[in-house]
Structure 1
Amino acid sequence: MSIKGSSLIIPISIVVHLIIINGTLYLLTPDTYTQNLNALYYNFSWLLITNALDFYPTKRKETFFTNIHKMLNLYTLFGLCYFAIFGFSNTAKGSTLFHVEVLLVIFLLLTLYRIFFYWAIRRYRFHGGNFVNVLAIGRDKNLKKIRKVFDDPYLGYRYKGFFDDSPSKSPTYLGKVKDAFDYVAKNSIDEIYCMASKFSQKELQRLIDFADNNMIKLKVIPDNKEVFTRAMTLEMFDEIPVLNFRRQPLDTDYAKIVKRMFDLFFSSLVIVFVLSWLVPLMYVLIKAESPGPLFFRQKRHGYKKRVFWCYKFRSMAPNAESDSKMATKNDMRVTKIGKFIRKTSIDELPQFINVFLGDMSVVGPRPHMELHTEDYQGSVDKYLVRHFVKPGITGLAQIRGYRGEVERKSDILNRIRLDVLYIEKWTLSLDLHIIFSTMRNVFAGEAKAY
């Protein structure tokens, strides 16, 4: 294997995957596997699906979770292909449940290998393998930022330095731009990073031609005018690159479907196994202490600032300030049973009905009452970004301690900062982490749960 390019990394992965699939099927379903051309069908299906999904090509910054949606799509399609052959050839031996278990074993082994693969390749790069030599031409603020990527030993970059017409005392300064061409020709450079703000169109074209003629990858970093963001992506309109400054993971159809399916599944469990017996019990306890309805409902802003009725178990005596004033510490409006259900977050459980109906999600930015939304959207920067997704019963801000009463300006600023971070960095694993953290906090108790 080439230490530098490591061109066999992907072929080895393909072989290992086929060994796992064929070995498992041969050991667990020998009769089915050896009949007719089943073995050939399984291998062909796997290779066809992985090629269609562009599953194997990996980027240096890719991790186990980067393209996990491709892995789930791959498993789903291969599972369908696995069962499809039984309908045509009637070669299935054993029950449907047995074959589901066989598939789960295959998927588990493939997932474990995927985890090992990303761990191993990072270690391999750390010890000098699978590296690329890179240099920069032109210097601006962006170079300092991408240097952080180049300096990560687990990514396999070997940064040689930069060329710029403005002399520098930096130890990585290699000379003026005109000297770069000779340096590249005499050294084994794989990638050139060019700061677009430093060059004219003619100079850039010359650099492009030079890179093409020397089989070097050229990457141009545009002049950002100090407006780059974490959520920005590049889209192509024919040959014109267009920067999208507010694209988040939940924009994809896959993410929307996965999150909605999870919401339906989770909310159904809570409604059937918890609310079915909790609602009658709460009715007795709440009505016994104070007159009024079982549920407290309030208009709140949701996805794209649409208004919906948010449901909670009533924890306060009926009052005129319920739609304008948040609960505060030692709030006299809170009933005795209300203190308990607020402390344990039981009062929030009816919102799983909102989740089931599609107004909310299990995880997301907490919805605010209309009055507060109108107030904060004019005083808190990026406040309305949180309305790009459905509001949630719990969220990243809540597990970090920013829930309940806003006592100081920093409370709402940090809450919005974490809400925006969640929107930009959403993954299913992040949702699960937030749910487990929320459950842990419920049992441990939270200072602002009042």
Structure 2
Amino acid sequence: MGISIARDNILFIIEAFLQPVTIVLALWGLYYHFYGELTPLCLTLSLILFLLNFPAHSNIHDPDLESISNVLISWFSIAGFILVFGWFTEYIGLFSVKAIVCWLLVTPVFQLFAILLLRLAAPIIIKLQGPAKRSVIVGINEQGLALAASIAKDQYSTTKLIGFFEDRELDRVPKLPSNTSHLGAISSVASYVKENRIDSIYLCLPVADQSRMVKLLNKLKDTTVSVYFVPDIFQTELIQGSIGEMNGIPLVALIETPFTGFNGMIKRVADILFSLVTLILISPVLACIAIAIKSTSPGPVIFKQRRYGLYGDEITVYKFRSMTVCEDGTEVKQATKTDSRITPLGAFLRKTSLDELPQFINVLQGRMSIVGPRPHAVVHNEMYRKMITGYMIRHKVKPGITGWAQVNGLRGETETLDKMKERIDYDIDYLRNWSPKLDMYIVVKTILVVLKKESGAY
């Protein structure tokens, strides 16, 4: 688990603005080239593009191919969203096809060129900030070593690690990195700071060791050093870990939904727009499937099943009926490869994921999201929550039509407990790393998986 150091320096501030500004400047240049002036429509589109891209994802540390991939996926996902919205509102007719194609192709080139220039300028920018901050770590333990490793591998870091302070004998602590040393006991920290112009101290002491920490902080009040506390995050898996406050009291979030505040609004607006446009486009397909189901087997067209939704509350999920039964009781058997309950039409619907299309209605209702952990039957939830640690954490967000586990090959039957554990690991990984760009990537990957008929569903 990496720890970000000195994210407030000039380099990272520039990077946060670089991509949004580059995209806006590319739009302005192309718009002026094609239309001879910057109109209010152009400025409005510029603002939308800036807000969708700010703050930019950090690409400066990534390998070249990964940077290129990130830029292309991000750009074409956002541009695709803008084009669909423009088509739906008919604003797209205000632009020529040539201008749109040029905009799509030229903008990512500008972005990659900007990243290259930033990498070339990075050493100069870092030098302009002055000498590196001399820092020490108090405590030789897992979080202290992780912090040291993070500093060492960051070539753009403005922090220089001098060494560690620790009371225990060196043969009782983990081995120190080769480029650092043991500077002494914790009782000598304050005097060392005064004598050696130390800028920052990172306290990696256990929370339970409060008395020693308070004693050290009192001694450090006679210095100008900056002091940071590094909590022992290795005792638990962080889900959207963050620092905040409640009525002036500082709080550290260990497990939280990623969809709070502005993120929640972005997620909901995207869900509404995407599901609404999709339902309009696929309405003829929905009608044809409904007629085919009704004419090939007895029973309802829509299969309704109780699932767990946000915060573990029960919701009703819609699917096109693909079986001869509509199970929703205390026993629900998962579909298998040779399941006799699946109708011939149902096998095709499940293989192509067409049976999931009615869930776009669930998204409009606010019960589901386009992307999120797939909802399981209530009886399966009650079974697996007792068998898999952390199973219910996946319900910190709305269930999705598609998800991170599904595009990584974990869709369909989970015939073993290990397979279900792997699916849950992907679900929790999605919660931990969510971003609008990840959602866009999952949607694109889902479409590709369905087109290749690699869904894995029976």
TM-score, normalization by structure 2? 0.71
Amino acid at match of 1:166: R
* Contact 1:122/1:154 (8 A) holds in 2: no
* Contact 2:201/2:227 (8 A) holds in 1: yes
Instruction: Please say which of residues 181-190 and 368-377 is displaced more in the overlay.
Output: 181-190
1:403 offset after TM fit, Å? 1.7
Change in 2 beyond 3 A, CA 1:289/1:142: same
- Determine whether 1:235 maps to 2:244: yes
Name 1:388's counterpart in structure 2.
396
1:192 to 198, 201, 204: 201
- Determine whether 1:140 maps to 2:141: yes
CA–CA separation in structure 2 for the residues paired with 1:192 and 1:410: 43
Q: Secondary structure at the match of 1:311?
A: strand
CA distances 1:277-327 after superposition (whole Å, capped 9, x unpaired)? 112321332233212222212122211222222111111123668861111
* Contact 1:125/1:154 (8 A) holds in 2: no
1:432 offset after TM fit, Å? 0.9
Change in 2 beyond 3 A, CA 1:280/1:447: closer
Name 1:420's counterpart in structure 2.
428
- Determine whether 1:291 maps to 2:293: no
- Determine whether 1:201 maps to 2:203: no
After superposition, the CA RMSD in angstroms is 4.7
Name 2:88's counterpart in structure 1.
none
Name 2:267's counterpart in structure 1.
259
1:188 offset after TM fit, Å? 5.7
Name 1:281's counterpart in structure 2.
288
1:192 offset after TM fit, Å? 2.1
Name 1:87's counterpart in structure 2.
none
Between the two proteins, the alignment pairs up a number of residues equal to 400
* Contact 2:352/2:455 (8 A) holds in 1: no
1:164 offset after TM fit, Å? 2.2
CA–CA separation in structure 2 for the residues paired with 1:129 and 1:168: 35
Change in 2 beyond 3 A, CA 1:158/1:271: same
Name 2:342's counterpart in structure 1.
334
Q: Secondary structure at the match of 1:209?
A: coil
Change in 2 beyond 3 A, CA 1:28/1:387: same
- Determine whether 1:160 maps to 2:169: no
* Contact 1:126/1:154 (8 A) holds in 2: no
Change in 2 beyond 3 A, CA 1:208/1:229: farther
* Contact 2:306/2:378 (8 A) holds in 1: yes
Change in 2 beyond 3 A, CA 1:407/1:255: same
Q: Secondary structure at the match of 1:414?
A: helix
Name 1:312's counterpart in structure 2.
319
Amino acid at match of 1:330: T
Instruction: Please say which of residues 116-125 and 236-245 is displaced more in the overlay.
Output: 116-125
- Determine whether 1:344 maps to 2:352: yes
1:247 offset after TM fit, Å? 2.1
1:175 to 167, 175, 183: 183
2:228 to 219, 222, 225: 219
1:369 to 367, 377, 383: 377
CA–CA separation in structure 2 for the residues paired with 1:224 and 1:335: 50
Q: Secondary structure at the match of 2:235?
A: coil
Change in 2 beyond 3 A, CA 1:250/1:208: farther
Instruction: Please say which of residues 224-233 and 117-126 is displaced more in the overlay.
Output: 117-126
Amino acid at match of 1:281: C
1:434 offset after TM fit, Å? 0.8
Unaligned runs of 5+ residues in structure 2 are 1-7, 79-92
Name 1:301's counterpart in structure 2.
308
Amino acid at match of 1:429: K
Instruction: Please say which of residues 242-251 and 350-359 is displaced more in the overlay.
Output: 242-251
Q: Secondary structure at the match of 2:303?
A: strand
Q: Secondary structure at the match of 2:153?
A: coil
Unaligned runs of 5+ residues in structure 1 are 73-95
* Contact 2:126/2:156 (8 A) holds in 1: no
Amino acid at match of 2:141: D
1:397 offset after TM fit, Å? 1.0
1:236 offset after TM fit, Å? 2.6
CA–CA separation in structure 1 for the residues paired with 2:18 and 2:352: 52
Amino acid at match of 1:393: I
1:391 offset after TM fit, Å? 0.6
**Identical residues among aligned pairs (%):** 30
* Contact 2:163/2:183 (8 A) holds in 1: no
1:388 offset after TM fit, Å? 1.4
Name 1:82's counterpart in structure 2.
none
* Contact 2:311/2:395 (8 A) holds in 1: yes
CA–CA separation in structure 2 for the residues paired with 1:26 and 1:382: 51
Instruction: Please say which of residues 24-33 and 217-226 is displaced more in the overlay.
Output: 24-33
Q: Secondary structure at the match of 1:162?
A: strand
Instruction: Please say which of residues 17-26 and 302-311 is displaced more in the overlay.
Output: 17-26
1:259 offset after TM fit, Å? 1.2
Larger Rg: 1
1:445 to 433, 443, 453: 453
- Correspondence 1:58-207 to 2 at 5 A: 121=118, 129=126, 131-156=132-157, 157-168=159-170, 170=176, 171=178, 172-176=180-184, 177=186, 180-181=189-190, 184-185=193-194, 187=196, 189-197=198-206, 199-207=212-220
Choose between structure 1 and 2 for higher RCO, CA contacts under 8 A separated by at least 6 residues: 2
Name 2:256's counterpart in structure 1.
247
Change in 2 beyond 3 A, CA 1:9/1:368: closer
CA–CA separation in structure 2 for the residues paired with 1:286 and 1:11: 56
